[in-house]
């Protein structure tokens, strides 16, 4: 396994991050345990979850599964850099959502209880809260840091200017501020290259891309359909995306075959080559899918191949950051 620093911190995390969103809804608890054990065997030390995962309001099903896995001992908790999130609705009451100081502190305590741990390594805001001032957010986060309940703060689904607001507010309070941002980022979704990633690089904020395979579309979806082994890539939004992008996906899978790499690993390898990216989040439903993802670390993409990928999946505008992406 390869490791890198999380943003500008001294914290070492694996170049692949284990996403746990499938634990509970799609993957049984025993299978989830097996995936987490195998992740440690591979040297993956970075696990990502959220208090809303499990998708039953207020139950925190996925966090609880991870907590029961930690409870088995064997040094599991000490080996893992644990990231979870706060923002989503945890009950029907109005203060059980968002980023008010009240909800941040309460949600953290509840996550700690479910996760059966004394601390969270990376506490992430799952979405921007436009109704809560930054001074209130940082007051709550600093309270949790002082209490030893969290170590670092991250964000998810922010815009570039949100990072600026967050960091400037944190600086006024002499706080470290954000160390990571978790956006959707993949070959088919490159909006973050315009402003978010340049802002993150300026502030030393590591990028942790979610949906690196765009719901399975970049995992060899057409080949799997022909083989009868397609999963997520033929469901709902992914199925619509496949029809919209079929010629591109066909050409992409042909290119991957020429390179001798699995399409999923090319998509992950491309992200690993991108500026500012710390660890793409992989979300295996099985141990076999986890094992296969490790092949991304062996993918080597030449300048010619990167140029071909840009032709298939063009960056927005002229490419690169704004304003040059859309102006002179």
CATH of the domain at 30: 3.20.20.100
Residue 96 tokens, joined? 């059980």
pTM of the model: 0.94
- Does residue 233 lie within any of the structural domains? no
Look at residue 271 and give its three-state secondary structure: helix
pLDDT band at 233 (very low <50, low <70, confident <90, very high): low
> Which residues pair with residue 13 across a beta bridge?
4
Mean pLDDT within 121-135: 98
- Does residue 313 lie within any of the structural domains? no
- Does residue 212 lie within any of the structural domains? yes
pLDDT value at position 230?
Answer: 63
The answer to whether residue 243 scores a pLDDT higher than 90 is no
261 among known catalytic residues: no
The answer to whether residue 8 scores a pLDDT higher than 80 is yes
Q: In terms of C-beta density within 10 A (0-12 exposed, 13-18 middle, 19 or more buried), how is residue 23 classed?
A: buried
Q: How many domains does the chain have?
A: 1
- Does residue 292 lie within any of the structural domains? yes
Contact 172, 142 (CB under 8 A): no
Residue 60 tokens, joined? 């925190």
Contact 208, 272 (CB under 8 A): no
- Does residue 231 lie within any of the structural domains? no
Side by side, which strands form the sheet with 150-156? Answer: 206-207, 178-182, 150-156, 120-125, 81-86, 46-48, 17-19, 281-282
pLDDT value at position 234?
Answer: 58
- Does residue 256 lie within any of the structural domains? no
pLDDT value at position 227?
Answer: 81
Catalytic one among 3, 53, 123, 185?
A: 53
Percent of the chain with pLDDT over 70: 97
Contact 18, 36 (CB under 8 A): yes
Question: Which of 38, 70, 34, 32 lies closest to 53 in space, CA to CA?
Answer: 32
The answer to whether residue 236 scores a pLDDT higher than 60 is no
293 lies in which domain range?
A: 3-219+263-302
pLDDT digits (tens, 9 = 90+) for 263-315: 999 999 999 999 999 999 999 999 999 999 999 999 999 999 999 999 999 99
pLDDT band at 91 (very low <50, low <70, confident <90, very high): very high
Look at residue 255 and give its three-state secondary structure: helix
- Does residue 250 lie within any of the structural domains? no
Residue 204 tokens, joined? 């030393």
The answer to whether residue 211 scores a pLDDT higher than 80 is yes
- Does residue 230 lie within any of the structural domains? no
The CB-based long-range contact list for 66-71 (8 Å cut-off, 24+ gap) reads 66/20, 66/23, 66/32, 66/36, 66/115, 67/114, 67/115, 67/116, 67/117, 68/29, 68/116, 69/32, 69/33, 69/36, 70/115, 70/116, 70/117, 71/116
């Amino acid at each position: 396994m390869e490791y890198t620093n999380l943003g500008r911190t001294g914290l070492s995390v694996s170049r692949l991050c284990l996403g746990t969103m499938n634990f509970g809804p799609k993957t049984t608890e025993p299978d989830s345990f097996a995936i987490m054990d195998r992740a440690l065997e591979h040297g993956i030390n970075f696990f990502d979850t959220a208090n809303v995962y499990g998708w039953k309001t207020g139950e925190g099903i996925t966090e609880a599964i991870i907590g029961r896995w930690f409870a088995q001992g064997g040094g599991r908790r000490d080996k893992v850099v644990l990231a979870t999130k706060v923002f989503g609705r945890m009950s029907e009451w109005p203060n059980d959502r968002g980023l008010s100081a009240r909800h941040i502190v309460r949600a953290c305590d509840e996550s700690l209880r479910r996760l059966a741990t004394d601390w969270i390594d990376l506490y992430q805001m799952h979405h921007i809260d436009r109704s809560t001032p930054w001074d209130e957010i940082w007051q709550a986060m600093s309270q949790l840091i002082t209490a030893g309940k969290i170590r670092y703060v991250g964000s998810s689904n922010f815009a570039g200017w949100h990072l600026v607001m967050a960091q400037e507010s944190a600086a006024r309070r002499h706080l470290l501020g954000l160390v990571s941002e978790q956006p959707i980022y993949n070959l088919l979704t490159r909006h973050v290259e315009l402003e978010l990633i340049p802002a993150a690089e300026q502030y030393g904020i590591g990028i942790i891309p979610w949906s690196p395979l765009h719901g399975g579309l970049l995992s060899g979806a057409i080949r799997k359909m022909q083989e009868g082994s397609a999963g997520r890539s033929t469901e709902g939004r992914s199925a619509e995306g496949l029809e919209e992008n079929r010629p591109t996906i066909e050409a992409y899978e042909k290119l991957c075959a020429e390179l001798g790499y699995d399409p999923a690993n090319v998509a992950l390898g491309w992200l690993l080559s991108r500026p500012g990216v710390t660890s793409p989040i992989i979300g295996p439903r099985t141990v076999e899918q986890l094992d296969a993802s490790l092949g991304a670390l062996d993918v080597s993409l030449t300048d010619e191949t990167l140029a071909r990928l840009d032709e298939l999946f063009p960056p927005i505008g002229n490419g690169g950051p704004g304003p040059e992406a859309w102006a002179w």
